Amino acid sequence: MARPLMDTYSPPDIDFERGEGAYLHARGGARYLDFISGIAVNGLGHCHPAAVAALKAQAETLWHTSNMFRVPGQIELAEKYCRDSFADRVFFTNSGTEAMECALKTARHYHFANGRPDRYRIITFTGAFHGRTFGAINAGGNPAYLEGFGPRMEGFDQVAFGDHDALKAAVTEETAAILIEPVQGEGGVRAVPDVCLRGLRELCDEHGLLLIYDEVQSGAGRTGKLWAHEWAGSAQPDIMAVAKGVGGGFPMGACLTTDAAGAHMKIGTHGSTFGGNPLAMAVGNAVYDELTRPGFLDHVTAIANTLRQQLSGLVDAHSGKVAELRGRGLLIGLKLKDGYVNKSLAAKAREHHLLMGAAGDNVARLAPPLIIDETHVREAVAALDAALGALEPQ
């Protein structure tokens, strides 16, 4: 069955054929509550009517022209992103890792254009994940993702997550930028404290560095703010990569920058054939309009509080197996105790028709659609309770 595919994934033996709201329907009729939503992608749930209508209408009108020609949907969406964020400029991509590439290139090019091509080094953190292109695996620094792919790329300095002294010591005359996920996703669903984001902003200002946020997973309303860094108040970045939830399931991403950081990216410095194509922009605009509808993000915060409250009850009830609850808003991690395995918990949850994911550091990950209500929360918590009860030490 999987023969013609590269063996890069090992999916369970289920074929989903239909999605509706927070549920996925498998061939044969079984229904699953989707609390991972394509890894924090389907924020509006599956087949949201507004996104479906936008995609259908665009599919019957115009699919693709490339960036040789103006795509009005790009201007419309970029104006919305800039209206509601720190940003003045936007470059559209097809994925998170491409948004990261644009962010890294923009940071280096800023110093180059300012007469400091020697400032090219980028500081990153242990446990980071920025995608799978060469630039992104080198930025992420995960040895498992780098092994076998040739020499390490020059110019990335990784410091331990949370080690402030190491961070300060890592800043040199050659440093161009600091890159961080406001909530580490793949690395174990670890939220960076607000005070640390503000500290990073100050450190960058002090040394003339650019602050880059990777909000590919934490953005698009996932934490109850449009972008997770908004929780920290005055800790705005110079550059931000977004993807996953901004397309609601249609592949798209974007690199957002201030005028100062992005204005030097001129004709020929960067490009993409598909980035920001009319289909992606139709869906991206529809998704964004839903996320910014009055009350939407308040709902995310309220339902996230309800879910987290009930999950803390589960953590207490299964304290022999679960060490702690992590994350922010609807990006949630359950760190398991030694001897219990996150992937086994996800498999047990599946037996109870709940879909969840795994992250690094033996964390089980929940990233439900943002549109869930209390019925979904009750159903998920009951399934997880049963799955935790049945989880055996390994």
Q: Any idea which residues carry the catalytic annotation?
A: 129, 214, 244
Q: Is 186 within 8 Å of 359 (Cβ atoms)?
A: yes
Nearest distance, CB of residue 192 and ligand PLP, angstroms = 12
Query: Smaller CB distance to ligand PLP: residue 243 or 388?
Result: 243
Stretch that binds ligand PLP, among 89-97, 205-213, 265-273, 294-302 (CB under 6 A): 89-97
User: Of the listed pieces 125-133, 221-229, 268-276, 358-366, which binds ligand PLP according to CB under 6 A?
Assistant: 125-133
Does position 124 bind ligand PLP by CB under 6 A?
A: no
Does 95 contact ligand PLP by CB under 6 A?
yes
Token output for 331: 């990006």
101 closest CA partner among 131, 68, 144, 145: 131
**Chain centre to alpha carbon of residue 10:** 21
Exactly one of 34, 101, 214, 379 binds ligand PLP (CB under 6 A); that residue is: 214
Provide the CB-side half-sphere exposure for 370 (13 A, CA).
33
The reply on whether position 245 binds ligand PLP by CB under 6 A is no
- Tell me, rounded to whole angstroms, the distance of Cα 393 from its chain centroid: 31
Question: Closest distance between ligand PLP and the C-beta of residue 331, in Å?
Answer: 10
Residue 129 touching ligand PLP (CB under 6 A): yes
C-alpha distances (whole Å) from 41 to each of 46, 153, 219, 323 are 10, 30, 10, 27
Applying CB under 6 A, which of residues 34, 101, 157, 181 lies at the interface with ligand PLP? 181
Would you count residue 217 as binding ligand PLP (CB under 6 A)? yes
Is 103 buried (19+), middle (13-18) or exposed (0-12) by CB count in 10 A?
Answer: buried
Residue 216 makes contact with ligand PLP by CB under 6 A: yes
| Residue among 58, 74, 97, 285 that touches ligand PLP (CB under 6 A) | 97
Q: Which stretch binds ligand PLP (CB under 6 A): 212-220, 335-343, 355-363, 377-385?
A: 212-220
DSSP string over 323-385: EEEEEETTEEEEEEPTT--HHHHHHHHHHTTEE-EEETTTEEEE---TT--HHHHHHHHHHHH
| Helix axis angle, 374-390 to 342-351, nearest 10° | 120
Both structure tokens of 1? 């069955």
CB-nearest residue to ligand PLP:
96
Tell me the C-alpha distance between 346 and 86, whole Å. Answer: 37
Here the tokens at position 130 are: 């920025």
The per-residue DSSP string of 269-317 comes to S---SSTT-HHHHHHHHHHHHHHTSTTHHHHHHHHHHHHHHHHHHHHHH
Per-residue contact string for residues 45-84; x = within reach of ligand PLP by CB under 6 A: ----------------------------------------
Q: Which of 71, 197, 210, 243 binds ligand PLP (CB under 6 A)?
A: 243
What is the rounded CA–CA span in Å between residue 67 and residue 252? 15
Rounded to the nearest whole angstrom, what is the least distance from the CB of residue 100 to ligand PLP in the complex? 6
Can residue 130 be called a binding residue for ligand PLP (CB under 6 A)? yes
C-beta of 131 vs 224, nearer to ligand PLP: 131
CA distance 257 to 240: 6
* Amino acid present at 49: P
Q: How many residues bind ligand PLP (CB under 6 A)?
A: 15
Q: Does 106 bind ligand PLP (CB under 6 A)?
A: no
Give me the 131-150 binding string for ligand PLP, x by CB under 6 A, dash otherwise: x-------------------
**Min dist. Cβ of residue 82 to ligand PLP (A):** 21
**Contact between 96 and ligand PLP per CB under 6 A:** yes
Return the range that interacts with ligand PLP (CB under 6 A); candidates 61-69, 83-91, 96-104, 362-370: 96-104
Stretch that binds ligand PLP, among 106-114, 126-134, 161-169, 318-326 (CB under 6 A): 126-134
What is the DSSP pairing of strand 322-328 with strand 331-336? antiparallel
Instruction: Return residues touching ligand PLP (CB under 6 A).
Output: 95-97, 100, 129-131, 181, 185-186, 214, 216-217, 243-244
